[in-house]
A and B are shown apart, each in its own frame.
Chain A
Amino acid sequence: MAKFKVINNKIRVNKDITKLDKFALEVIEIIKKYTDYVIISGYVSIFFGRSRATEDIDMFIKEMPYSKFLKMYKDFTEKGFEFTIDDSKKLYEDYLMKDEAINVWRKDFPLLRMEIKLANSQVKKLIINNPIKVYFKNKEILVCSIESQIAYKRYISKSEKDLEDARHLEIVFDLDKEKIKYFKDLFNKDEN
């Protein structure tokens, strides 16, 4: 029996790197040069063993000025990535700053995308400011708290896939049940 356990917001995982992990790491490598980020949603469940693939990895980032966003945009495009639209100014003003997700993918493989949104609400800011550091194969990624993930998927989004993701995490993690309730209440307040 070996459940995953997060200690002091850190966890070490012994796992193989999948093509999905590789894509996530490539995007993170660029993003983290310009802003803070946290991975949320389905990929968190998949990272910790859920047996499914996905076409989107979801990420929150912190707000940055357009000048910095432009540098990040250029960095991505120079490294062979493509965005939702090719106009960086519109991408920043009409998507990111208006709470719309921007997508980024490798030009040669548009099926797999990183969906990036601003952490602009109280609860999203709480999540991005308190990430879990996950160490694996000399790599590091930041993911949201597992309890927040379960609370969101089980009590807010509640699709069949979300409930399955939540159930997976409930089984594989040693969890703080009070923390799940805490996030459930926060999400409910955020929704209202």
Chain B
Amino acid sequence: MKTRMDFVEKWANFVVEHPEEWSRMQAEFIDSQYENAEMIKLSREQVDHIKKKVK
């Protein structure tokens, strides 16, 4: 069974082997997460509440 670490290593090796490609793919992945979060429009209080729950 593949572990999370296997995927971390696989992606890191992709970064090394594809210096012209990794950044665009990573940017799409990261930006989409913030775009989703922006749409939800959480307030400061809601974010604080979530952060406390996570801790």
Interface size class of A (residues with CB under 8 A): 20 to 34
Q: Is the CB of B43 within 8 A of A167?
A: no
Q: With A49-B23, A49-B26, A110-B47 in contact, do A19 and B8 touch (Cβ < 8 Å)?
A: no
Contact indicator B8/A167 (Cβ below 8 Å): yes
**Among the interface residues B17, B27, B35, which one has the most CB atoms of the partner chain A within 10 A?**
B27
- The A/B interface has a contact count, at CB < 8 Å, of 82
Q: Which residues of A contact B30 (CB under 8 A)?
A: 18-20, 46, 52-53
A46 to B12, CA, bound (A): 11
On whether the beta carbons of A19 and B13 are closer than 8 Å, the reply is: no
| Neighbour of B42 across the interface among A18, A52, A110, CB < 8 A | A110
- Contact among A19, A49, A55, A164 for B22, CB-based, below 8 A: A49
Interface size on B, residues (CB 8 A): 30
Contacting residue for A164 out of B5, B31, B37, CB 8 A: B5
| Given known A14-B19, A18-B26, contact A111–B42 (CB-CB < 8 A) | yes
Q: Which A residues are in CB contact (< 8 Å) with B16?
A: 1-3, 171-172
Residues A172 and B12 in contact, CB atoms below 8 Å apart = yes
B:2-39 near A, CB below 8 Å? 4-5, 8-9, 11-13, 15-17, 19-20, 22-24, 26-27, 29-31, 33-35, 37-38
Residue B44 at the chain A interface, CB threshold 8 Å = yes
Min distance, Cβ B22 to any Cβ of chain A, angstroms: 5
Bound-complex Cα distance A52 to B19 (A) = 18
